[in-house]
Amino acid sequence: MNLLAIAINHHTAPVEVREALHLNDDEIRTITLKAKEKLFTECLIVSTCNRTEVYGIPKNVNTLHTDVQNFLLNGKSNIKITEENFQNFSSSKAVQHLFEVIAGINSQIVGDNQIFKQIKSSFQIADDLQASGFLMRHLFASSTRVGKRVITETSISEGAVTISFASVQLIEKIFSSLGKKSALVIGTGETGEIAAKHLRDRGIGKLTITNRTKEKADKLAETLKCSTINFNEFKSQLYQFDIIISATSYEGLILTKKDIESSMKERKGSTVVLMDIAVPRDIDPDSKYIDHVFYKDIDSLNIIVEQSLKKRNSEIPKVKLIIKEELEEFGNWYNSLDASPTIRTLREHFENIRAEEVKKNKNKFLEGDHEKLEIITKRIINKLLHYPTTELRKAAEQENDSVITKTKVGILKEMFGIDKSITEKKNNNE
């Protein structure tokens, strides 16, 4: 299998290099088209905050990994990148790497299932640009199956693995519903920002941001569609909030026990949750002795994170077994094509017909039915071709009777007009 892949990720490069090579969807589309024109017959480009990777079937068998690297770095001469910043994969190793990425065991945070959606989106872009062909489409199907199996058959994506998420997860256990609760996030650094995003995603009733630098608070609030409060005023309004998450880099306490006691008098016995996820701490730890106050600091939250990470790591052997099974399945499929190239031609012939007809007619269906249309038409093709391809594989395995093999191959080609179709396509291209 002449499949090449290059990867630059958190294992090989610092964040400034990864940021410089990050591609948005428009850039992926542009580079995919150029890659298909210059290097590949089929290709796929993946780019997330932690990785940029290129997969492709080279037009020229002499194409090297360095050729792909140089292509990706074109126009990026101001960035210092060396050969050591890249990982290179070929053939089945490239497939295995993609499976490990979509499974979440190659992520910076083990079990990160966001990558599953990102890989699917990358495949969709390649397909929309007609940069994916017979092999890439099968690779997409196999990769998707790996991702789905990992999600349904293992627990590798379960549990909180960041302090910010752990704090919000714990808050959800204290309050049965966040829809009627109000929250204040103090600090707009990475930790505070992530905590605020998790609260928004969990449907918090009212979210407010405060920060010493008002511009930073306003910027985050605009992104999250929430409100802000001036830093020099927030203490006087503490009583309004059911949840307070503090994540600043201030050297010293921002909220004293006295501050909390004053706000609790206004709350008249209503519970408040204090999550101090700052280092050093922002909130006086003695606040936990106040009635109706639930207080947690970063040390107690770290215990939750460590337990979750331990559980996720224990699931890695299960994930690797799934990858091994799917890799063998993919290898068997590809080897069957090598054993009898006619199978590949036959399936590609029918897949091209199917894809062309779906493309021409899908506007006759509701947008929500497009995925069903893809699934149903692919199933029809698979069922139609199951028996002839099975017989062809059997014939290919009968090494002592090449006459039977050639006869069956010839009959299939003649019945389905494969040679004629290929010739017509070649003439049209010329």
Residues forming the active site: 49
The pair of structure tokens assigned to 4 is 């090449």
Q: How far apart are CA 30 and CA 23, in angstroms?
A: 10
Work out the angle at residue 110's Cα, subtended by the Cα atoms of residues 104 and 113, and round it to the nearest 5 degrees: 45
Nearest to 239 by CA among 306, 314, 162, 293: 293
Give the 3-state DSSP-derived string for 201-268, with helices as H, strands as E and coil as C.
HCCCCEEEEECCCHHHHHHHHHHHCCEECCCCCHHHHHHHCCEEEECCCCCCCCECHHHHHHHHHHHC
Q: DSSP letter at 399?
A: T
**Do 309 and 359 touch, CB atoms closer than 8 A?**
no
Alpha-carbon distances, residue 407 vs 335, 384, 416 (angstroms) = 21, 20, 14
Q: How far apart are CA 197 and CA 223, in angstroms?
A: 10
Residue 276 DSSP SS3: strand
CA atoms within 13 A of residue 274's CA, in its CB half-sphere: 30
- Beta strands 51-58 and 4-9 are antiparallel
Distance from first CA to last CA of the chain, Å, rounded?
Answer: 27
Cβ neighbours of residue 369 closer than 8 Å, sequence gap 6 or more: none
Q: Tell me the sheet residues that pair with 131.
A: none
Q: Could you give the strand order of the β-sheet that contains 272-276, starting from the edge strand earlier in sequence?
A: 227-228, 206-210, 182-186, 243-246, 272-276, 293-297
Q: How far apart are CA 167 and CA 282, in angstroms?
A: 15
